[in-house]
Structures are given as structure tokens and as C-alpha cells.
A = this chain, B = another copy of it.
Amino acid sequence: MDGNWVKALRESGRSGKKCLELEREKSNVDVDKLASFMFTNEAMERNERLLDILKADPVFDKTQNYFRGREARIEASLARGKRLRQLQVKHNWSKEEYNTANELISEPTPYGLHASMFLITLREQGTPEQHERFLKKAEAYEYIGCYAQTELGHGSNVRGLETTATWNPDDKTFILHSPHLTSSKWWIGSLGKVANHAVVMAQLIIGGKPYGPHPFVVQIRDLKTHEPLENIHVGDIGPKFGYNTMDNGFLLFNKVKIPHANMLARFSGVDPNSNKYVRPSNPSLVYGTLTWVRSNIVLQSGSVLARGVTIAVRYCSVRRQFTDRDAPEDEVRENQVINYTMVQQRLFPLLAACFALHFTGRGMIELYDANQAAMKRKENPGKVSEDSNQTGRSAGPEELNPGADLLADLHSTSCALKSYASTVAGEGLEVCRRACGGHGYSSFSGIGSWYADYLPTLTWEGDNYMLTQQVSRYLLKSARAVLKNASKAGNFNAVKGDNDTTAILKTYKRRMDIGAGFDVLGNDEDLVAAYAWRVGYLTFQALQHRDEEKRSWNSLLVDFFRLSTAHAQYMVVKNFHGALASSSLQSSLPTATKDVLHSLFRLYALHTLEKESSEFFQSAACTIRQIQLARTKTVPQLMTDIRPHAVRLVDSWKFSDWLLDSSLGRYDGAVYEDMFKRASEDNPLNKVVFDPYPDSGVLFKKDERSSMKSKL
């Protein structure tokens, strides 16, 4: 075919490039100032520096990513993991630089769990001798490992793990065994193809008595041949909805012996002389790590969602479809899709959520750091422990040592926010994909794969539904304390040392009979207070169900989910509002930019209020009239205010085209050229010619690829 006439073709009407230029002209949002305030110049400089290194290396070329099958993707991803490690050594990268490079590739590689959980666990749960024995080789990538906790039959319920590690007093060894099929380790990242070692969480059994899950270091593959060792059955668990560059694996043991030294013994262990269990120290540190991990999920959720919003906002500014129905008859130019209120209704609240979640995550991290510092002062080692994984995922604040009240509050908040933020981000990405219309369905949109890869976050580090029980348990506990103290004090007045939860519960109790009367449409503080009020209402309602009506825990799970969600939304609104009021933001951003951020805050808060309206009016946090006004007047007005700034607002997240790998989300708006190039030139399927006739008995007329032969 003659390609010249094809190459000469251009898109019709106003070009995508022109569309985005005009969008950027329309707004006075200061992209660079906003970006450096959100991410710091240092981080952005690091990004650019590493981006140049990666783009220059053919191993990281993304051109074929969307076309590859699973096996080819794993191959490419392992090659990338190896090269990344080589570059880390060559450039002497810091952990931060290594992680940033990993994010720029933005696919999980089979080295992922070695570099994170395996090393962390050895470091934090190993004794100095064990660091000598395992950590050194692991840091040198002679031992390549994974963290094997989840099993085929047990995920969330860590206490139910079936794999056993039985102490053998005769030869001072542990015998690792998988008694059932459901005991098989499952979903373990980096285990399927790459790991030669694993930290295995197994039920410790001494003298026939179980002591709960503990961590054991086990070699699983030969260091030379990389074949599984005897009595070990290990492999890849197969394809998934996403995350297919990772070799999630399974692992079974048939009475495998390991030496005493292989039980990670910093916090607990077995005394080989007395054959007795050595109790763990300091369970409260458990919360430390989990809170830290979840706080980071909250922080990331903002930028995870922002990737999808960036792509959708840019493409909807380029795409034109239909002329406005009220436009004059002779109007020929079609309307930009982003001008349709139905599209704005879907995208702008998510745009607002990106910033809301980002500032909330930052707030969480700051609170966490403050807490860790406070605990250090309390003579805790302050060293954070992965011991958490023994009990943490199903542990509740009850188990806290006394005085860790703030930490319990932080733990509960991190559970509520992890659950809420990752759900908002995950589901928001799918909304962004659909807002791109038909082309959102193409892999070249760059949203689908990103969405699919992110979905596990809704399940791991605590299932988003399960977590809401921990939040509710804590809120009920706080509410009981509030009532108890009030019956002593005779009132619900605030006292020194009340944490935020106690404070909002008391406020609600003080005023519940007077009524709220919040000016949610006219006053930001009242808007935040309305969210707090709703939490108070739902908490005491749940408490009544549980303590007075003696309803079963199971019968209240739906109420608990609502309660946790309400608490998370309150925290997000509060944190976003706090960030806007902060002197750091006030001093570093121009007025125009601050005004747009303020519109985003109000849009997030009022759109969410309208969405959850039934709880807001049932709790009398606001009136039906206010909700109707929000829906018909305020929210639509905010959409109009934000509209001209949409493109610059997504620009301020500073995602490079290389990172996004999206035709629709290109910074320059050359959407259709890029779609066409990928389909027409990069697509390997266009290198073959099929025989189309049912009775021909062959599949191929012509095949320019080595790998395929006629089949039928």
C-alpha cells in the first residue's frame, strides 16, 4: 500500500495541539508554583534526571508494552528489574532514587518484593547474626527473596494461616509443612519465577502447642540451577486482571527442615536449650508500620487518580462531539466534550479529589512522624517493625499498650482513609476511562492497564471492607469513653488532651438537642463541622444498635461501612481545608491559584455532601433546602468556575508523556496522530495476513513474525 497519501493526512477542524494551547491560555493557574508546592523542586528535579537515564535505555522502551502477552511482559519486566538494579549500583542511587525510577517505569517488576518486603523484613526482624547470615547476601542480590504470607485459603485472616513450622527439639530444627492444598502460599509477589529464598509466615508449634504465625527464612530454589529444592512445589499462579508483569507465585512444603537460625528472632523466638517460646516485645509498634504503609497508600491515591484525570481532562478538551443544542442553526463547529455538564459532573469532582487526597495523605504522614517522635521520647526504640504482619492485619486498637491513645486514633484514621482513598482512586480511574468515550477502551488510552494494575490496592494492606470494622470498633470505643467521662463530669465539655475523635463526639453530644444550623454553603468551617457532626450522629447511632439494642456485630457491618466512610470523608475535608489555610500554602501560591484550589475544596465537599445527602439531612447536619441549593446552584457554579482551569490543574501534576504512555493524555494534544501511529505502525498484528475463508484450512497467507505458524 502506498503510504504517502496516508502520511499527508491531518485531523479535521481545530487540531488537538491548538485546543490545549487555547486551554492553557485561558487559565492563570501557576502550574510550576503549584507543582513545587505539592511535590518540592527537589523531587521534580530527581524525576527529570532519572527520566533522562531511563528513556535513553532500550530496555525501558515502552513501545511494545501494550502488545505483549503475559510471558513476554514478564520477560521484559525482569530485564527491566535487572537493569534497574545495575543502574542503582552504577549511579549509586538512594532508595528514593531507586523508587522514583521504579515509578517512572510504572510497572511492577519481579524484583519488586525483594527490594521491598524481603529486605525490610530481614533488616527489621533479623538479629545482627541473621543480618550477617541473610541480609548481606540479599542486599547483594545473591539471595533473591519474597515475603510469603497469604495462602490459597486465607488472606485477610492471618491467624488462620495453615502452614506450620514445628520445632524439633532433637536436632534443633524447624520443620516447615503444608498440611493441606489450601495451605499453599498464594499471590506471593516475586515468588513465581524469581525468588530463591522466601520469608515464610508459618504457625509456630512447640511441643504440640501453637504460638501463632512467625517469620522463617527458607531457601526454595537452587542457587545455581534455580530449580526448586526437594519437597518444595513452587511456581507462578497464572494471569490476573492486571499486575501481569509480576510473577505472583504459589509455594508448598513437604516437611522441609530448616535450622534454628532461620527463624527471624529479633522480637520473638525459640530458646534452643529450654525449647521454650520467647515472647515478643512491644506489640504496640505493630501499629507504627501499618499506619505508615496505609498513610502512603492514601498519599499515593491522589496521584494514582490524577493520572487518569490528566488523561481524561486533556482528551475531553481535544475531543469534539455534537454542536450545542441551543447553538444557532448555522453553528457548524462541534462542542468540546469537556463543555458538557454531564462530563464535568463526572470529571471535576475527581479532579478535586486528587488534590483532596494528596493533602490528606500529607497530613497523615505528618501526623505519623509526629507520633513516632513522641513515642521515641517515650523511650520506645522507635524502630518500626514488620512484626505487624504477624497479627497486625487483623489486630485492633484494644491490643494497644496504655497511653498510645493518639496512636490508636491515628491507626483508626489510617484504616478509614486507606479504605476510602484507594476505593475513590480505583473507581475514579474507571470513570475517567469511560469519560474518554470509545477510545477510552483502547489500550492506548493508558487508563485501563493503570486501573487494572491498581485494583489490588483495594484488597491488600487490609481489605477495604474489612478495615471499616476496625474503624468502627475504635469509634464505638471512643464513644463509650465519652459517655463514661461525661457521666462523671456531668457534661460533654472539652478537656485538655482530647484527641480529635473525642472532640467531635463531645461536640455532637453537646449540641445534638440544640441542633446544628451549619451554613454549609456560605462558610467553610461550618462545612467541615457538618462532616464532623455526621460522624458523631452515625457513631452514637451505631453505639445504640450495638450496646442498647444488643444487635449482633454481623448485622451492623453495613452501618459500620457507612460510619467509616463518613469518618474518612470528614478527615479528607478537614485536611484539604487545613492545607488551604496553612501558612506554607498561603505564602507560596499566587491568589488566583489559591482561589481555584478553594473552588476545588468546595466542589469536593459539597458534591460529596450532595451524594451522601440522606445521611446529612437525617443527622440534621444540614437541611433539605441546603442540599437542593447545593445540587441546583452551588455545585453547577463551581463546575463553571473550575472549567477554564481544568487543563492547567492537571498539568500541575507534572506527569511526563513517557510515564503516562497514553495517546489520549498527550501533553501536546496530538491525540489522533499518536493513536494512529501506534495502531498502524507499532501493532505487530498488522505484520500478518490471515486467510479469511472458512474452508481454506489454513490461517495465514503471510506471516512476517517467526513465532506463529498455521494451525487449523
Contact = CB atoms under 8 A, between A and B. Distances in A.
A232 interface: yes
A434 B422 CA distance: 13
A231 to B, nearest CB: 7
A443 B326 contact: no
Contacts of A708: 71-72, 75
Interface residues of A, number: 149
Interface centre among A233, A241, A628 (most CB of B within 10 A): A241
Copies of this chain held together in the complex: 2
Nearest to A663: B238
Contacts of A444: 238
B686 A225 contact: no
Interface string A212-238: 000000000000011110111101111
A236 B186 CA distance: 37
A675 B2 CA distance: 50
A690 B155 contact: no
Nearest to A178: B9
A179 B59 CA distance: 39
Contacts of A153: 11-12, 672
Contact of A233 (B83, B618, B680): B680
Contact of A692 (B194, B324, B434): B194
A521 interface: no
B701 A225 contact: yes
Interface in A136-183: 141-142, 144, 150, 152-157, 160, 162, 178-183
A561 B340 CA distance: 12
Given A239-B442, A324-B554, 20 more contacts: A1-B233, A2-B231, A10-B181, A12-B179, A12-B183, A13-B182, A66-B238, A78-B699, A144-B692, A157-B321, A192-B685, A227-B689, A237-B442, A240-B441, A240-B448, A325-B553, A326-B553, A342-B558, A345-B558, A438-B460
Interface of A: 1-3, 5-6, 9-13, 59, 66-72, 74-76, 78-79, 81-83, 85-86, 110-111, 141-142, 144, 150, 152-157, 160, 162, 178-184, 186-187, 192-196, 225-228, 230-233, 235-243, 247, 250, 252, 254, 321-322, 324-326, 334, 339-342, 345, 394, 430, 433-434, 437-438, 441-444, 448, 455-456, 458-460, 463, 465, 552-558, 561, 613-614, 617-618, 624, 627-628, 636, 672-673, 675-676, 678-680, 682-686, 688-695, 699, 701, 705, 707-708, 711-712
Which 3 pairs from chain A and chain B are nearest by CB?
A69-B69, A12-B180, A241-B448
